[in-house]
Amino acid sequence: MVIFLAVYLYSARMKSWLIMGLMMIGFFKPDIPKSKPGDKPEPAPAMLVQNTNGKTINLQQQKGKVVFINFWATWCPPCLAELPSINSLYEKVKADTNIVFVMVDVDNNLVKSSQFLKDKGYTFPVYGGDESHVPNSLFGEGIPTTLVVNKQGNVVFRHLNRAEYNDEKFVRYITNLAAQK
C-alpha cells in the first residue's frame, strides 16, 4: 500500500490511470445544465487561439456553431484522464459542421502538445493563445475546464475538473444544441 501511495503521489501517469478507471465505472459524469425560464445567458468573452498551422479561431466569429472548449495541459493528470473521452466525443460528432472543438493548451506550447496528442493517437485539433487573447476568466479556477458555447454565443455549460464526455447523455446534449436553430 505504501508503494502504491508513493507511486500515485509522484507519477502523473499513475494518477491519470486511476482517474480514468474511476471515470469508466461511472464517476465524473458532467452535469448537463437545465435552463429555467428567466435564466440570463452568459455571453462568451472574446478569445483568439491559433494552431500550429496558423489556423486561427476567434470565438466571437463562431456564432451559428456550437463550440466545445477544453483548457488542458500535458502535465495535468485530470486533464490526461479525460482526453480519451474527449477524443471519443470528437470522433462521434466531428462530421457535424455545426460543432467546433477548441482544445486549448494553457501552456501555449503547441509543438509539445501537438506531438503529445499525436503520440497518443488523439485526433482533435489543439490550439494555444497568449494571455492577451485567452481571458483567464474562462479557466481561472483551474484545469481541466470545459465550456460549451451555444449557437447564439452564450456559455451554456461550464465544468471544472475531469469528466467523461463520451457519455451518450452528453453526446445527445451537444448534438441537440447543434441541431437547434
Mean pLDDT by 10 residues, the chain (181 residues): 55 57 52 62 89 91 96 94 96 97 93 95 92 74 92 93 92 95 81
For residues 131 and 134, give the distance between their C-alpha atoms in angstroms, rounded to a whole number: 5
The reported pLDDT for the residue numbered 138 is 73
CA distances for 157 relative to 70, 131, 145, angstroms: 11, 22, 10
Q: How many domains does the chain have?
A: 1
For residues 78 and 75, give the distance between their C-alpha atoms in angstroms, rounded to a whole number: 9
The reported pLDDT for the residue numbered 104 is 94
Domain that holds residue 173: 2-31+41-179
End-to-end CA distance of the chain: 54
Q: Is residue 23 part of a domain?
A: yes
Tell me the residue type at 33. Answer: P
The reported pLDDT for the residue numbered 6 is 53
Q: Is residue 154 part of a domain?
A: yes
Instruction: Report pTM.
Output: 0.80
The reported pLDDT for the residue numbered 25 is 45
Q: What is the CATH number of the domain that holds 11?
A: 3.40.30.10
Q: Is residue 36 part of a domain?
A: no
